[in-house]
Structure 1
Amino acid sequence: MRIAIFLLAATLALAAGPASAAGPTEGAPPPYDPDLMRLAEILGALHYLRPLCGVSGEAQKWRGEMQSLIDTEQPSDTRKAKIIASFNRGYSSYAEVYRICTPAARFAVDRQLEEGSRLAHDIVVRYGGN
């Protein structure tokens, strides 16, 4: 699970980065905000698709990963609502299309895992420990 490893690293990087040191603010979003929003959307998609495709033991895994990012990021209420909306958009966009696991759903899972891993890695490399 490359994405889980990168999510852990991204969580640690965000915790060590300047955004969390300053605490939640209503000012400008951090520079990694678009990546974080997309990552939240991917986590929502995986939260729906992985159990649908019979991956046992992951019923709450991706929701838990999202909660860990929120806990680490400690966003303002407004920003937290945006992050949650991104997660929900990822979940619902696939729930509207897939009722059963199909080859296309499996392909979507693979794509989401790859993109999520890349985003989490990029967040760590660009913004971790700054």
Structure 2
Amino acid sequence: MRLPVLRRLALVAALALAAHGTAPARAAGPTEGAAPPYDQDFLRLAEILGALHYLRPLCGVEDEAQRWRAEMQALLDAEQPSEARRGLMIGSFNRGYSSYAQVYRACTPSARLAVSRQLEEAGKLAHDIVVRYGGN
């Protein structure tokens, strides 16, 4: 994983964990590899970013209307995946978005709980990816 990706993941972790008042641990240096072992976690993170892209503005966080989409784009730009992997990542993001768009038309207590859980999981995933695969 290249250093810009680690920085983006650390930023995503910081953003998500800040919503819960928790500070992320510092990340180690990057590792290189053709078949990233963090791929499933990364795809799940993309799905969560898609969910947040739908849910946060729905629940009145208007200043985040493009924030999570921009975070996803920045991760893609930093990672520079193959076209096939890029398609999987974008598909995960879109799946996260559409799965919540099918369920919620208004912000409900359940939607707010989903936001909270998504932020918590995103922070944990991003933190774990950086710590586990960041290398020294």
TM-score w.r.t. the length of structure 2 is 0.78
Matched, 1:54 2:60: yes
Q: Distance in 1 between matches of 2:75 and 2:47?
A: 13
**Larger helix share, 1 or 2:** 1
Identity in percent: 68
Matched, 1:110 2:116: yes
CA positional deviation for 1:4 = 5.1
CA positional deviation for 1:36 = 0.2
CA positional deviation for 1:128 = 1.1
Runs of 4 or more above 3 Å deviation: none
CA positional deviation for 1:56 = 2.3
| Contact map agreement 1:48 1:94 (CA 8 A) in 2 | yes
Count of aligned pairs between the two proteins: 116
Q: Distance in 1 between matches of 2:113 and 2:31?
A: 34
Q: Distance in 2 between matches of 1:4 and 1:59?
A: 19
Which residue in the other structure is 2:5 paired with? none
Structure 2 unaligned segments of length 5 or more: list them.
1-10, 17-26
Q: Distance in 1 between matches of 2:31 and 2:58?
A: 35
| Contact map agreement 2:50 2:96 (CA 8 A) in 1 | yes
RMSD: 2.2
TM-score w.r.t. the length of structure 1 is 0.82
One-letter amino acid matched to 1:17: T
